[in-house]
């Protein structure tokens, strides 16, 4: 990666184009004008003008004078008549025209000398159409609204991936899709909150800095508090705090916030990612499945007005109807050609895993089952599918199944081959929860870096009585991926870069 030039260095060291723009800024100031004025007499947005005059005839004058601001995206200067295209933050464009007989020789020359591509410009003038029919502002006066010191990239090639991520603000200026994704993300968040509000859930915020990290199996980021002189962890999940809220009587509660996991990054994983978790007292994993489907379907409808969402590559993600449910053990048995149950001997699982060439890190019964399931079944789940009833030993925070021995009431929702959400009938029995934690501690002692810690304060909360509760976790970034077909780094405005 190139070293970026810094403006503080001597002018001669600067790239030509920056030096020239700095000089133009000086000329503006020297002539008694401002390069970055504090306020402008704006009367309309570019969008307003376009909306008001959707279809004017060729070469008309409306008689209406407007003051608008926008960024210069194209310039077409002739000797005595100059054209430019101004763009709003949302990407709307309008043409401006400066003619010699309207603004005078001095103003026209200054304009040609001082205005560059990328500058923010304010113009005041009449709304007209040109002789070619283009909706335009015939400029009576113009002022610099904000001088750009760096040149805009070439607008006729796609920006490189790295440049887009490191200079997202430029990406947002020059690429419609970049702006769209930001809009979609915002609409999705609004839609999720609307669904929750209509269902009487309330939104809370729980700690991101935690003394004990819990609620998921993952490696945390560590940090340190000077004031408390103690090691702290960035949260890997809000679960244990949201459950405390349910103990306290906040029966329908959700949080949308960032989680941090100190693990690999790829097309579907980011070190910090937005997570939605929700808990419903007197619900269970069935009610949470229903809620999850509603959240996602409402989001698709609110964003696109359809449940058949067209993705980046032109494929359609069909989110309509009631989503399929399959049992983990049954779908695995079917796919691998032999019956696998929670009672299947671990030696059988081990043999099957070896035959398939799977290497498994911290082998337990449930770990084998999940790995085998991912190997045999996962990739085939393109349509939204709830995978039901997981092994006990890999789900330490979930209640045992009400009728099937050896499994817990947990589902994972798969869309387009990756995990989109998970739902539980939460484990609320403090005695069993303590036993499960003890198991995790043993795993940690045996070297599993993702095993959970025993959280005494959380257990104490459960000992005050937690009602039967359904819980769900849903990855926001991944929902955006499902709705757009983009990679996770394109759904996050400023993903982590080194």
In whole angstroms, how close is the CB of 453 to RNA at the nearest point? 15
In whole angstroms, how close is the CB of 102 to RNA at the nearest point? 8
* Positions 11 through 40 that interact with RNA (CB under 7 A): 15-17, 20
In whole angstroms, how close is the CB of 75 to RNA at the nearest point? 6
- Of the pair 155, 202, the CB lying nearest RNA is at 155
In whole angstroms, how close is the CB of 228 to RNA at the nearest point? 27
Q: How many CB atoms lie within 10 A of CB 169?
A: 10
- Of the pair 281, 293, the CB lying nearest RNA is at 293
- Of the pair 62, 75, the CB lying nearest RNA is at 75
* Positions 437 through 456 that interact with RNA (CB under 7 A): 450
Tell me the C-alpha distance between 317 and 314, whole Å: 10
- Of the pair 236, 247, the CB lying nearest RNA is at 236
126 binds RNA (CB under 7 A): no
Tell me the C-alpha distance between 427 and 240, whole Å: 11
* Positions 159 through 178 that interact with RNA (CB under 7 A): 159-163, 165
- Of the pair 355, 498, the CB lying nearest RNA is at 498
In whole angstroms, how close is the CB of 18 to RNA at the nearest point? 7
* Positions 241 through 300 that interact with RNA (CB under 7 A): 261, 263-264, 266-271, 273
* Dihedral over Cα of 195, 196, 200, 203: its sign: negative
Task: For residue 405, give Cα distances in angstroms to 30, 206, 234.
Answer: 83, 34, 36
Point out which span in 75-83, 141-149, 250-258, 280-288 binds RNA (CB under 7 A). Answer: 75-83
Spatial contact of 348 and 367, defined as CB atoms under 8 Å apart: no
Spatial contact of 294 and 305, defined as CB atoms under 8 Å apart: no
222 binds RNA (CB under 7 A): no
Tell me the C-alpha distance between 351 and 360, whole Å: 12
Pairing verdict, β 316-318 and 120-129: unpaired
In whole angstroms, how close is the CB of 358 to RNA at the nearest point? 8
* Dihedral over Cα of 348, 350, 351, 352: its sign: positive
410 binds RNA (CB under 7 A): no
Spatial contact of 220 and 231, defined as CB atoms under 8 Å apart: no
**The only residue of 8, 132, 224, 445 in contact with RNA, by rule CB under 7 A:** 132
Query: What are 116's strand-pairing partners?
Result: none
In whole angstroms, how close is the CB of 412 to RNA at the nearest point? 7
467 binds RNA (CB under 7 A): no
- Of the pair 150, 194, the CB lying nearest RNA is at 150
63: alpha, beta or left, given left = phi > 0 and alpha = psi -120 to 50?
A: left
Task: For residue 58, give Cα distances in angstroms to 48, 63, 87.
Answer: 20, 15, 22
* Positions 335 through 374 that interact with RNA (CB under 7 A): 359-361
- Of the pair 136, 484, the CB lying nearest RNA is at 136
# of chain residues touching RNA (CB under 7 A): 74
**The only residue of 56, 60, 100, 189 in contact with RNA, by rule CB under 7 A:** 100
411 binds RNA (CB under 7 A): no
492 Cβ contact partners less than 8 Å away, ≥ 6 residues apart = 270, 273, 477
Tell me the C-alpha distance between 447 and 479, whole Å: 33
Point out which span in 69-77, 288-296, 299-307, 327-335 binds RNA (CB under 7 A). Answer: 69-77
Tell me the C-alpha distance between 147 and 115, whole Å: 8
Number of H helices and number of E strands within the chain? 16, 18
In whole angstroms, how close is the CB of 113 to RNA at the nearest point? 7
Query: What are 275's strand-pairing partners?
Result: 257, 475
Tell me the C-alpha distance between 291 and 301, whole Å: 15
Point out which span in 31-39, 200-208, 279-287, 485-493 binds RNA (CB under 7 A). Answer: 485-493
- The 133-162 contact track toward RNA, x by CB under 7 A, reads xx-x-------------xxxxxxxxxxxxx
Spatial contact of 18 and 150, defined as CB atoms under 8 Å apart: yes
């Amino acid at each position: 990666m190139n070293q970026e030039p810094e403006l503080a260095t001597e002018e001669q060291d600067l790239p030509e184009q920056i030096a020239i723009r700095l000089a133009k800024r000086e000329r503006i100031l020297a002539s008694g004008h401002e390069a970055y004025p504090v306020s402008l007499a704006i009367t309309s947005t570019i969008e307003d003008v376009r909306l008001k005059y959707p279809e004017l005839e060729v070469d008309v004058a409306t008689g209406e004078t407007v003051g608008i601001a926008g960024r210069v995206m194209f310039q077409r200067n002739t000797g005595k008549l100059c054209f430019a295209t101004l763009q709003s933050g949302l990407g709307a464009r309008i043409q401006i025209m400066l003619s010699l007989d309207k603004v005078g020789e001095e103003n026209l020359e200054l304009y040609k000398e001082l205005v560059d591509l990328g500058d923010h410009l304010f113009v005041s003038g009449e709304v007209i159409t040109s002789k070619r029919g283009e909706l335009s502002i015939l400029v009576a006066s113009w002022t610099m609204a904000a001088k750009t010191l760096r040149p805009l990239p070439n607008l006729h090639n796609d920006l490189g991936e790295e440049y887009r991520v490191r200079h997202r603000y430029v990406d947002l200026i020059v690429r419609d899709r970049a702006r769209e994704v930001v809009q979609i993300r915002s609409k999705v968040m609004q839609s999720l909150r609307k669904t929750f509000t209509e269902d009487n859930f309330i939104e809370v915020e729980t700690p991101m800095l935690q003394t004990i990290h819990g609620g998921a199996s993952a490696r945390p980021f560590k940090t340190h508090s000077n004031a408390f002189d103690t090691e702290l962890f960035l949260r890997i999940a809000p679960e244990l705090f949201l459950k405390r809220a349910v103990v306290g009587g906040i029966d329908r509660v959700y949080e949308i916030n960032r989680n941090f996991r100190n693990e690999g990054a790829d097309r579907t994983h980011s070190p910090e990612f937005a997570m939605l978790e929700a808990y419903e007292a007197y619900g269970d994993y069935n009610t949470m499945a229903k809620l999850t489907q509603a959240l996602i379907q409402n989001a698709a409808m609110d964003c696109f007005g359809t449940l058949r969402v067209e993705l980046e590559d032109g494929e359609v993600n069909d989110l309509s109807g009631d989503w399929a449910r399959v049992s983990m053990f049954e779908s695995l048995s079917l796919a691998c050609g032999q019956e696998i149950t929670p009672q299947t001997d671990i030696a059988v699982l081990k043999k099957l895993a070896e035959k398939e060439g799977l290497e498994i890190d911290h082998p337990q019964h449930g770990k084998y089952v999940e790995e085998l399931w991912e190997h045999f079944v996962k990739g085939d789940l393109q349509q939204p599918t709830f995978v039901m009833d997981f092994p006990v030993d890999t789900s330490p925070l979930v209640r045992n199944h009400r009728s099937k021995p050896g499994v817990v009431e947990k589902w994972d929702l798969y869309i387009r081959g990756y995990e989109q959400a998970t739902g539980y009938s939460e484990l609320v029995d403090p005695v069993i929860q303590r036993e499960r934690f003890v198991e995790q501690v043993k795993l940690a002692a045996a070297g599993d870096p993702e095993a959970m810690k025993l959280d005494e304060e959380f257990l104490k909360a459960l000992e005050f009585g937690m009602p039967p509760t359904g819980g769900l976790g849903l990855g926001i970034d991944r929902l955006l991926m499902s709705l757009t077909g983009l990679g996770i780094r394109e759904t996050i405005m400023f993903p982590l870069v080194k």
